[in-house]
Amino acid sequence: MDIGERIRQLRVSNDLTQEELASRCELTKGFLSQLENNLATPSLPTLMDIVEALGTTMAVFFTEEKDEQITFDKDDFFVDESEELVITYVVPNAQKNQMEPIIIELQPEGRSNIIYPKEDGETFGYVIKGTVNLVNGKNTYKVKEGGTFYLKCKKEHFLENRTKKVAKILWICTPPLF
């Protein structure tokens, strides 16, 4: 951990100048500058004073927050295969998010999982390859390559591939269902 940088981050987030923080800790501005630039190392009592003046605890000070992963590549994907379909989870652990994007490959004559009604659910799909039927309650809609669909999850719905070719669909639902 970069102690000097952490002191600087917390000082700036508290809208304090080096002079203000140094004054609160009975240090010189020059010494605080040396600490922030890693040109000096604080004693434990001095660090405790700084941390207290920054309004936090030693435990919080030394807790490093991990940056949230925002980009993913094929190595991050999880693939679930069955006879009728292949589901590729393109965002790991998406069930903790508000939406879940997946790619579904439907084999000829294959069908996706049935999505049961959810009061606050929504589903979006984009047909990357092939043609599928979107079955929404008692209605069936043909969606061709390049076409999209968007629906509230008020009715049971699923996709089916009645063709002789594999179909590939980007499917995004909220809340996560898969």
Query: Residue 32 sits in a domain of what CATH number?
Result: 1.10.260.40
Task: State how many domains the chain has.
Answer: 2
- pLDDT at 178 exceeding the cut of 60: no
Same domain membership, residue 167 and residue 97: yes
CB 102 within 8 A of CB 77: no
Record the pTM.
0.64
Mean pLDDT of 51-56: 95
State the alpha helices, DSSP H only, in the chain. Answer: 3-13, 18-24, 29-36, 44-53, 58-61
| 10 and 93 share one domain | no
Distance of CA 155 to the CA centre of its chain: 28
Residues 52 and 81 reside in one and the same domain: no
Q: How far apart are CA 167 and CA 85, in angstroms?
A: 9
Q: What is the pLDDT of residues 107-158, one digit of tens each?
A: 999 999 999 998 888 999 999 999 999 999 999 999 999 999 999 999 999 9
CA distances from 114 to 135, 151, 175 (A): 9, 14, 15
CA diameter of the chain:
78
What's the domain range around 159?
Answer: 74-174
> Within this chain, do residues 78 and 164 fall inside the same structural domain, yes or no?
yes
Tokens of 53: 């003046």
Q: Tell whether 68 is covered by a domain.
A: no
- What stretches of 60-121 adopt beta strand conformation (E)? 78-81, 85-89, 100-106
Each residue of 18-30: pLDDT tens digit? Answer: 999 999 999 999 9
Mean pLDDT, to the nearest integer, of 46-69?
89
